[in-house]
Amino acid sequence: MEPRGARALITGATGGLGQAIAASLATLGAEVVITGRRAEVLDELAQRLEAEAIVADLCDRSDLERVAEAARSCDILIANAGIGHDAPIEAVTTDDIDTQIDVNLRAPVILATAFAQAHLEASTPGQIVTIGSLSGLAASPESRLYNATKFGLRGYTLALRQDLADHRIGVTHVAPGFIRDAGMFHDGGIELPKGTRTKAPGDVAAGVLRAIRENPAEVFVSPLELRLGATLATVAPSLSAKVQKRLDAAGRQRAD
């Protein structure tokens, strides 16, 4: 599918990755619909891109239904919104759990379902893109909920792709690694191990564009070594945990 002339909905558009994706699609001639919680950021972006804006909190059931209704009329759905930063296990609350599940997993599932049902009923083509993470392949310390929701999102996306394969509705999972200047790791001020290579928000936008145009099952936006490390974690999680622990210890020694 080509973006030009298509109507594309992007969630999480007030964050750095969402803004990069929305700007890329608008530049290519897509009719962009953007959603996010921060009205002032969303309105400024909407004016700049001549986009439609929907202020919405994906944890709010009525807000999510409004976004789902908008998704039904779109040609492209990009489920980009996501949150991380797990609280320490001794301090985590039910609200913490509900919030990450609602934003990272429940909302994409609801939106993709609404989008797919509308296109199945109308017999029209469409493209669903979910923005996951390498954390959906490799577990890491202090990221229990983030790992759980991103593992779930990847599994849902790949299964949905199979369900819709014969209906001209593409489904792609985009998995970024560490992204500089935007995203969870940047916003949280997380210090990466020395020598860790990163990608830019524009690289994620390019990955989304590839997903829309080519409909691969997955697009990885990360250096090769991170992709290989994540792949190792899927087949040897205990070894991966040991490697991460040693890297963390080495990083602490350098910091000291």
Among all residues, which ones are annotated catalytic? Answer: 146
Q: CB–CB of 83/103 below 8 Å?
A: yes
164's torsion region: left (phi>0), alpha (psi -120 to 50) or beta? Answer: alpha
3-class secondary-structure state, position 37: coil
Q: Which residues pair with 219 in a beta bridge?
A: 174
Residues 154 and 175: beta-carbon distance below 8 Å:
yes
How many CA atoms does the CB half-sphere of 42 hold within 13 Å? 18
DSSP 193: P
Residues 18 and 8: beta-carbon distance below 8 Å: no
